[in-house]
Structure 1
Amino acid sequence: MPDPLEIFVAIDLVSRREWGARAPRGSYSSLSSTKGVKVHYTGGRVDPAIVEDHAKCVALVKSIQNQHMDGNGWMDIGYSMIACPHRKVFVGRGPKHLPAANGSGLNSGHYAVLGLVGSSGLVQPNDEMLHGILDAVEYLRDRGGAGREIKGHRDGYATSCPGEPLYAWVRRGAPRPGGGGDPDPPEPHPSFPGRTLKYPPVMVGEDVRTWQQQMRTRGWSIDVDGLYGEQSRDVARRFQREKGLPVTGEVDRATWNASWEEPVT
């Protein structure tokens, strides 16, 4: 069965000019490709009335840009694309440009796509918004070299984003609504990043944060900060003893894979 994202869909694109975007305060950093896309939500209250009035979607996107530029001090809105509940996709920073919404050190790995839902008010994405998010993903694959991954903001970063309803959809493999059949199963776990995580010196990166988040999910007391230092090394040593692996304090391929195996109960 073909991947639904490989079937061309004519995207209903809202250009920056059409939504009245402010000009960026400088030049974007360029991207030639990414691992994929991370999905976000607003994190605040979204007025449910946007479902009935697209003008309110435009106003919300403009307010987000203002917050990012005037509140955060960013050069522009942080997202690559924004999907609203009318299956319209707003151009944020767009393809080939570094986003700012994924977190420090994480932006070059994935584009950032916002769904216009929040932590209160409108929290459940409708089918049109899910289609819009996938239209944006397809667009970023075609125009921006985005890879196959579709993840939530919280994958690799300590946050509640993109909220439980949207994240549950991501975890199901981000299927197109009404697409028929089952989506391709997601990867059983993130693939080994190709470098062994060890200390000293302190290693930094999204792969470190991904492993730390998984260990915390398993119940280990560990900071999810993307810094592989003494604490991470000690957790790795104890985990290796538990699993009967060589106790090195280094997250090699065997330790990485074991971190996602179901614990024996």
Structure 2
Amino acid sequence: MTTMVTRAGWRARRPTSSYTQLPRARGVKVHYTGGYVSPKIVDDHDICLELMRTFQRQHIDANGWSDFAYNLAGCPHRRLLEGRGFGVMSAANGPGLNDDHYAILALVGSSGFTQPTDDLLHAVRDGIELLRKHGAGTEIKGHRDGYSTSCPGGPLYAWVRKGAPRPREAPAKPKPPKPVKVVWDGDVPRWPGRVLKHVGGAMMRGEDVRVWQDKMARRGWKLDVDGVFGEQSADVARGYRRATGLPAGDTVDKATWAMTWSWTPPPEKSA
């Protein structure tokens, strides 16, 4: 999820004059920094903040503009940085063009860090969506559309030409199951609270499996004590349930677990 860095967060200077209001626009134009951006920016968010301050100094002190030129900026840490903000005109699109589109800057350069990361594209896309909520129309353009410039660079402009789609996010990795601990009451382990079973390739693993396997192996049943409830363990459970008169099945449920420590039938020859 993209987070917003306020002007105070990147230590912006106050604008030298008030902004021109722009309650509506045709859309958003995407820009890049141009020049060299250190590849270290991907791992160091402080570089993003310093770039913002550098551009603001240039825009105010060298260009004579009232403030940082862009409405928003997006960085490779999936953060949006507040520039001029919403509902006001930028100074980034070129003379006579700023009343048509808002402007968002992607912190990617023409050398060094040139290939926008997925998190940077997400941040820019989130900025576009926010600007749309504040009067921007549906157009998504590059700075070079209507103005003679290489901005926003080849890779970013190719993305803009596709409609600025969101990158595919990798599916969240499933959380590993909490390890099952076996609590002992003297020499008898308590029921661990889950049925041990083997379903296709989804083999159950854990300390409870190993404890049950160890007990069955000590009683003469042929199986590996490896903590994995595979086909071999299912076969032993099936034979043990049949030998003890428990309902047919190949799982170790609560009754089978209890019987494992309370009654010992001889192993079946086929087990």
- Which TM-score bucket, shorter chain as reference? 0.5 to 0.7
Which amino acid in the other structure matches residue 130 of structure 2? Y
Number of the residue aligned with 2:217 = none
Shift of 1:173: 1.4
- The counterpart of 2:131, out of the listed 131, 140, 143, is 140
Shift of 1:179: 6.3
Structure of higher CA gyration radius: 2
Number of the residue aligned with 2:27 = 36
1:104 equivalenced with 2:98 (yes/no): no
Which amino acid in the other structure matches residue 5 of structure 2? V
1:15 equivalenced with 2:6 (yes/no): yes
Number of the residue aligned with 1:117 = 108
Percent identity for Structure 1 against Structure 2: 57
Number of the residue aligned with 2:143 = 153
Shift of 1:11: 4.1
Larger helix share, 1 or 2: 1
CA RMSD of aligned residues (A): 1.2
Shift of 1:74: 0.6
Per-residue CA deviations over 1:146-194 (Å, capped at 9, x if unaligned) read: 00011000001110000000000011111100069xxxxxxxxxxxxxx
Q: Which runs of no fewer than 5 residues in structure 1 stay unpaired?
A: 1-9, 181-265
Number of the residue aligned with 2:154 = 164
Larger strand share, 1 or 2: 2
CA distance in 2, matches of 1:50, 1:11: 17
1:65 equivalenced with 2:56 (yes/no): yes
Q: Which runs of no fewer than 5 residues in structure 2 stay unpaired?
A: 171-271
Shift of 1:44: 1.1
- The counterpart of 1:48, out of the listed 39, 61, 68, is 39
In the TM superposition, structure 1's runs of 4+ consecutive aligned residues that sit over 4 Å from their partners are none
CA distance in 1, matches of 2:62, 2:36: 17
Shift of 1:98: 0.6
CA distance in 2, matches of 1:25, 1:44: 26
Number of the residue aligned with 1:85 = 76
Per-residue CA deviations over 1:22-79 (Å, capped at 9, x if unaligned) read: 0000110001111010000011111111100001110111101111111111100000
